[in-house]
A and B are shown apart, each in its own frame.
Chain A
Amino acid sequence: MPREPFIVLEDVSKGYKVGGQTVHALDHLTVTLDKGDMCALMGPSGAGKTTLLNMIGGLDVPDSGKVMVGGIDLSRLNEMQRASFRKRNVGFIFQFYNLIPSLTAYENVLVPVMFERDQKRGRAEDLLDRMGLSRRMDHLPMELSGGERQRVAIARALMNDPPLILADEPTGNIDSETAREIVSLFRQLNDEGKTLIMATHDRMMAGKARSMLRMRDGRLSGGKTSTRSGTVHLASSKYQGTQ
């Protein structure tokens, strides 16, 4: 099936001042990702994976270069427009869940639509039900296990039905069994048409992705590669992913 470019980064650079020195989190990065892709970002800590996700999600702006998502040039948007872009187009999933501790699971899922006229509360219940949390809706995050919290975070990310899901180490803080369930869920979402990009150190997770980008020092180390049957082909190495 022919695919259309959905995410385009052109010569993107981003630096942070650390102790008087500038660290290049992204260094003249150019990359294109297709609509409906499920891409794993791999690389050592500090390689720029999270910064890349932040750029694509409109959470951060590049020092130079251009970030286009779904035809929208994020570099030209102001903060309010980027907030609106995030609300409508992006679902974020974080390693440490980032749930609001004072709200129940159900209320956490409703946070993105808090100021909407139609809050689609039925959808929030359906999503939690789909995540297997129908009996945990009225529990606070502290009363939930790590896997349950991450599933609440996934339900929250899906609340606005965004076309793009960005996951930063989504299985980094949960057990392997739950991680497998979450990967399976990501595959389902991808099959339903969502574009998924996930930063991960988990080879099993990367093996389930359709494509993979390997990063180092803010650049791609090797080109974009396809994965199949759990086998991940890296630019410089090849290993067997867990089925």
Chain B
Amino acid sequence: MTERPKTFTTATYGLSHMKHNMMRTITVMVTLTLTMGFFILSLSLFFGLTSKVDPDSERRGLLEGRVPTSTDLFQDMRIDRDMSEGSRQALVELLLFTTVLVCAVSFFIIYNTMAVSVRERRREIGILRALGLSSWEVTKLFLAEGGFIGLVSWISALFLGMPLILNLSVYLLERGDTAFFFVAPAIPPQLLVLSFLFSIGLCLASTYLAARTRIGSSPVKLMRSQE
């Protein structure tokens, strides 16, 4: 016989829903993982460009094929001394623009995905409201799901994205024939914190904005939908 959970919480509710809608959950997570991977890459290049650390020894290590350990991953990396100040400034601005663009596109994608999910669950929202759950309690159910998806996507982006970034940096350094390719990405602790906050924040904000209007509607209207 199945062991029943000791308490029935928002987490139980969210996990049951995600399990029941596995394909949608995976789609959202893959989308967010790719978005987050790109975000981390942009940010890491940005950090690389703005870092003041002498890069020579680190670069040699990468070119010699040294596999980064988990400690290495969190170290500040380098910027090429030969790059002119003007080129560096241009690249910083370009990456800043790219990062902001990634943020906006990510928000748009996640918001729309969540909006579709909420729209499909109007009836369920109506039932929950009819059973006496307040708008805020129903919102919390959606936020818990959004937060969980954000967390899982951040972790997968980190574990899939970091090796990709480091391998890419080796490739770029090996080519090394333009100013841009002299720039190696950096993965400092603040990048981890920033990407974590971005991933969770993006999911929570987009879920909240997508859900708030519908959850606040009349339970009767919500239950009549999809009939």
Residue ranges of A at the interface with B (Cβ–Cβ < 8 Å): 54, 57, 59-60, 79-80, 83-88, 90, 92, 94, 96, 98-104, 106-107, 110-115, 119, 121, 137-138, 140, 156, 160
Q: Which residue of A lies closest to B3 (CB)?
A: A138
Interfacial chain A residues near B130, Cβ < 8 Å: 57, 59, 86, 92, 98
- Chain B nearest Cβ from A232, distance in angstroms: 29
**Residue B129 CB within 8 A of the other chain:** yes
Which of B184-227 touch A at CB < 8 Å? 216, 218-220, 223, 227
Residue ranges of B at the interface with A (Cβ–Cβ < 8 Å): 1-2, 4, 6-10, 12-13, 16-17, 19-21, 123-124, 127-137, 216, 218-220, 223, 227
B127 touches A83 (CB 8 A): no
Interface of B is mostly: helix
A60 touches B223 (CB 8 A): no
B8 touches A54 (CB 8 A): no
On whether A87 and B133 interact (CB within 8 A), knowing A100-B127, A107-B8, A107-B16, the answer reads yes
- Chain B nearest Cβ from A113, distance in angstroms: 8
Q: Which residue of A lies closest to B131 (CB)?
A: A112
Q: What is the bound-complex CA distance between A81 and B134, given in angstroms?
A: 9
Contacts across chains A and B counted by CB atoms under 8 Å = 87
Q: What is the bound-complex CA distance between A112 and B129, given in angstroms?
A: 9
- Chain A nearest Cβ from B7, distance in angstroms: 6
Interfacial chain B residues near A90, Cβ < 8 Å: 132
- Chain A nearest Cβ from B130, distance in angstroms: 6
Interfacial chain A residues near B1, Cβ < 8 Å: 138
Q: What is the bound-complex CA distance between A57 and B128, given in angstroms?
A: 14
Interfacial chain B residues near A138, Cβ < 8 Å: 1-2, 4
B223 touches A112 (CB 8 A): no
A80 touches B8 (CB 8 A): no
A84 touches B132 (CB 8 A): yes
A102 touches B9 (CB 8 A): no
Which residue in B13, B123, B136 is a CB contact (below 8 Å) of A103?
Answer: B13
On whether A102 and B4 interact (CB within 8 A), knowing A54-B220, A86-B132, A160-B132, the answer reads no
Given A59-B219, A103-B13, 13 more pairs with CB closer than 8 A: A57-B130, A80-B136, A86-B131, A87-B133, A101-B124, A102-B20, A107-B8, A110-B8, A111-B131, A111-B133, A115-B133, A138-B4, A156-B131
A119 touches B135 (CB 8 A): no
Q: What is the bound-complex CA distance between A100 and B123, given in angstroms?
A: 9
A115 touches B131 (CB 8 A): no
Interfacial chain A residues near B132, Cβ < 8 Å: 83-88, 90, 112, 160
Q: What is the bound-complex CA distance between A105 and B204, given in angstroms?
A: 29
Interfacial chain B residues near A113, Cβ < 8 Å: 8
Q: Which residue of B lies closest to A90 (CB)?
A: B132
